[in-house]
C-alpha cells in the first residue's frame, strides 16, 4: 500500500517525532534500540514507543527485532521518495522555483579533500582516524579530528599505539568541534562521527553540505582490567579504524556521483565484525 505524502508530513510535523527522525538520520546506517532512543531524547519508554510506531507506519523508519529488543533505523528510500514527491508536486519539477535542492549527481572533483572525524572526547577513536588517514593517504586528504566534549589530553594508550605503528604523534592534540565551525575553518568535504554519543548530538548543519556518515566503534578508553587488556582494546579499535580508513581512501572518488559515494561510505560504516 502506497503511503501518502500527507501521512509522512503529518508524522514529521510533531516536534518529538521529528527529533527521533533526525536522531536516526544522524545514526544511519545503525539500527538503534528503542531504549537508547528514549534515553538520548529524554522520553518515557511508552512515549517513545508511540512516536516510533507513528514514524514506522509512515514508512520513514524501519523496525527490526534483535532478541527481546526492537531496533529502529532511518529508511533512506522513503525519505528520498518524500523529497522527490515534494519537488514534483509542490515545485512542479522546476529547479528555478525550488533552487534549494542541491545537485547530487555530479562526480566529486579531483582534488585534495578535507575530512573531519568527530567523537566525544577526541582522545582515541577520532585521533586514530586523523592520524591513520594522514599517514596512509596524506597526499590526497587533509585529515582533522575534533570532539564535542574534548579531553584536555590525548589518551596515553592511543598515543602509544600510534607510535608503535610508526605513525607520527607530535602534532596531534585534542580539539573542540567549534574550531571547525567558524568562517575561517577549512570547508569539509567529508564529516564522520566515530562514536554513538557524538552522532546522537544535534549539531548545526555543516556549511557546504559535506558528505557525512556514522562509523561508530567501541570506545577503548572504557576498557577495564590490566594494562595488557587495555592495550588489546586499543589494538582492536585501531585495527577496525585502519580497515575503514583504507577502504575509504581507495574509493574511486572521481568516478562516483555524490549519491553513490554516500552509499559507499555508509557501507564502510556497516562493517562491524573485523579486527
Spatial distance between the Cα atoms of 121 and 147, rounded to a whole number of angstroms: 5
Question: What pLDDT, on the 0 to 100 scale, is given for residue 85?
Answer: 76
Is the dihedral angle over the CA atoms 89, 90, 95, 101 positive or is it negative? negative
123 φψ region: left (φ > 0), alpha (ψ -120 to 50), beta (else): alpha
4 φψ region: left (φ > 0), alpha (ψ -120 to 50), beta (else): beta
pLDDT category, 273, cuts 50, 70, 90? very low
Higher pLDDT, 245 or 258: 245
Spatial distance between the Cα atoms of 74 and 262, rounded to a whole number of angstroms: 14
Q: Can you tell me the mean pLDDT for 149-173?
A: 95
Question: What pLDDT, on the 0 to 100 scale, is given for residue 51?
Answer: 97
Beta bridge partners of 74: 61
Question: What pLDDT, on the 0 to 100 scale, is given for residue 30?
Answer: 87
Question: What pLDDT, on the 0 to 100 scale, is given for residue 95?
Answer: 58
Q: Can you tell me the mean pLDDT for 189-199?
A: 89
Question: What pLDDT, on the 0 to 100 scale, is given for residue 96?
Answer: 58
Question: Which positions ≥6 away from 84 have C-beta within 8 Å?
Answer: none
Across the chain, mean pLDDT equals 89
Return the CATH number of 113-270, one of 3.40.50.11540, 3.50.50.100, 1.20.120.790, 3.40.50.2300.
Answer: 3.40.50.2300
Three-state secondary structure call for residue 105: coil
Three-state secondary structure call for residue 244: helix
Q: pLDDT per residue over 42-101, tens digit each?
A: 999 999 999 999 999 999 999 999 888 899 999 988 877 887 777 766 666 565 566 555
Same CATH topology for 5-90 and 113-270: the answer is no
Q: How far is CA 117 from the centre of its chain?
A: 9
CATH level 3 topology of 5-90: Arc Repressor Mutant, subunit A (1.10.10)
Neighbours of 165 (CB within 10 A): 15
Higher pLDDT, 113 or 209: 113
C-alpha torsion angle, residues 110, 203, 207, 142 (rounded to 10): -30
Spatial distance between the Cα atoms of 238 and 235, rounded to a whole number of angstroms: 5
Alpha helices in 28-182 (DSSP H): 34-41, 45-57, 76-90, 125-137, 156-164
Domain ranges of the chain: 5-90, 113-270
Amino acid at each position: 500500500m502506497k503511503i501518502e505524502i500527507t501521512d509522512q508530513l503529518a508524522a514529521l510535523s510533531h516536534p518529538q517525532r521529528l527529533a527521533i527522525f533526525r536522531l536516526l538520520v544522524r545514526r544511519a546506517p545503525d539500527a538503534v534500540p528503542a531504549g537508547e532512543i528514549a534515553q538520548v531524547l529524554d522520553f518515557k519508554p511508552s512515549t517513545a514507543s508511540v512516536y516510533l510506531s507513528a514514524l514506522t507506519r509512515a514508512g520513514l523508519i524501519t523496525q527490526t527485532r534483535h532478541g527481546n529488543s526492537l531496533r529502529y533505523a532511518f529508511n533512506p528510500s522513503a525519505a528520498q521518495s518524500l523529497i522527490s514527491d515534494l519537488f514534483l508536486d509542490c515545485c512542479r519539477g522546476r529547479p528555478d522555483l525550488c533552487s534549494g535542492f542541491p545537485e547530487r549527481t555530479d562526480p566529486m572533483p579531483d582534488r585534495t579533500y578535507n575530512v573531519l572525524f568527530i567523537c566525544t572526547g577526541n582522545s582515541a577513536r577520532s585521533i586514530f582516524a586523523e592520524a591513520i588517514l594522514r599517514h596512509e593517504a596524506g597526499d590526497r586528504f587533509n585529515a582533522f579530528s575534533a570532539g564535542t566534549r574534548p579531553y584536555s589530553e590525548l589518551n596515553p594508550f592511543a598515543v602509544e599505539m600510534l607510535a608503535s605503528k610508526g605513525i607520527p604523534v607530535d602534532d596531534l592534540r585534542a580539539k573542540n568541534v567549534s574550531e571547525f565551525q567558524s568562517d575561517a575553518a577549512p570547508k569539509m568535504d567529508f564529516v564522520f562521527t566515530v562514536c554513538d554519543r557524538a552522532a546522537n548530538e544535534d549539531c548545526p548543519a555543516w556549511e557546504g553540505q559535506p558528505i557525512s556518515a556514522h562509523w561508530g566503534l567501541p570506545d577503548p578508553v572504557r576498557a577495564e582490567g590490566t594494562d595488557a587488556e587495555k592495550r588489546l582494546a586499543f589494538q582492536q579499535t585501531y585495527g577496525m579504524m585502519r580497515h575503514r580508513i583504507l577502504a575509504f581512501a581507495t574509493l574511486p572518488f572521481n568516478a562516483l556521483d555524490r549519491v553513490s559515494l554516500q552509499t559507499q561510505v555508509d557501507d564502510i560504516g556497516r562493517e562491524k565484525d573485523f579486527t
